[in-house]
Amino acid sequence: MRKYLPFGKPDFGDREIEAVTRVLRSGWVGMGPETIAFEEDLARSVGVPHAIAVNSCTSALLISLRLAGVGPGHEVVCPSLTWCSTANVALYLGAKPVFCDVDPETLCLTPETVARVLTPRTRAVMAVHFGGFAADVGELRRALPDHVAIVEDAAHAFGSRYPDGRLVGASGNLCCFSFYANKVLSTGEGGAVTLVDAEAAEQIRSLRQHGLAVDAWKRFTHPGVLLDANLTQLGYKANYTDLQAAIGRVQLSRQEEFRRTRLEAAEIYRDGLRGLPVTLQRQVTDPGHSRHLFIVILDDEARPTRDELLVALRRRNIGATIHYEPLHLMPLYEGDGAPVSLPHTERVAANILTLPIGASVSADDARDVVAAMQAILG
């Protein structure tokens, strides 16, 4: 390829630019009416009463764990095959992340992999919908004690569907989305929590703005609303902005377009990689998969190796990458106990590779990637 192809790039067009321009001209760019409208649109699209926008999915996960009662002395179970935020938010609250294995075909945790690491100290399970494959949180809920909360890390899974057909985010759990640059719905940065409980929703709205009961939009635009100085809880600086929300509202309206683009690329990959020494994540071309990532897993005996393949693709201007290095092998998370062994995670992580896919990856781009894979591995 003559031009570098990133593994994930947003598609921002004239409508997004016009939306941002409209907000800039309004004179209000912080969290205000556009954010409220985006949250309403988002809740409606997922099928829940409440969606609260925050500055990142990391903040969404942190606040959700706090609402689940996680604190010092508790354990939070999460897969090792995930981005570090999933584990770090437990550390921020003084809890301990405990890593579980994944299913080698879906790359998600299962009730069985979680059960192996549950202890009396377990307070929450972080269900990561890896790459856009929706983990079965209903089955997981039935397998867990009542006092163990499920927080869904749906950073990859906007638009994905659970096995029962509902959209991810509508399970009744606290469900956290990411709107980072390469995500299915992108606002450059940001995240959101979707939920059904009204009281918990109000808690999140307060916690995202230092614990205040009234946001800046109401304080500065409504004469009868004053700053409530009686803070009763320590919150965070995690608010969203109307600039991001304006982009998000347009991106929401374009989701069907993006779904078709991602599906076309995934089908080209699926068909073009047949016969090569790789396997794909299960159901990556099914309707319930958001296809945030397109994952290939090299056979153990494949040559070149995964790292050699990555270098060879990048030399061809193809931005393949790795999702992820397993967290349980990183020094930050090493505890005082015996080393953790997660055989499926370790085998998959040694052979995993992400091919470019996204709103800006065309069918021709996907065919070029297939041709390069065939040339290198064929």
Mean pLDDT, range 80-105, rounded to an integer: 98
Check whether 227 has a pLDDT greater than 80. Answer: no
Q: What's the whole-number average pLDDT of the chain?
A: 95
* Residues designated catalytic: 183
| Structural domain boundaries in the chain | 14-253, 255-377
Q: Predicted confidence band at 1 (pLDDT cuts at 50, 70, 90)?
A: low
Q: Predicted confidence band at 213 (pLDDT cuts at 50, 70, 90)?
A: confident
What does the pLDDT read at residue 215? 61
Check whether 231 has a pLDDT greater than 70. Answer: yes
Q: Look at the domain 255-377 and name its fold.
A: Aspartate Aminotransferase, domain 1 (3.90.1150)
Mean pLDDT, range 84-100, rounded to an integer: 98
Q: Predicted confidence band at 336 (pLDDT cuts at 50, 70, 90)?
A: low
Q: Predicted confidence band at 324 (pLDDT cuts at 50, 70, 90)?
A: very high
DSSP state string for 240-307: --HHHHHHHHHHHHTHHHHHHHHHHHHHHHHHHTTTSSEEE-TTTTSTT---S-EEEEE-TT-SS-HH
pTM over 0.85: yes
Domain 14-253 class? alpha beta
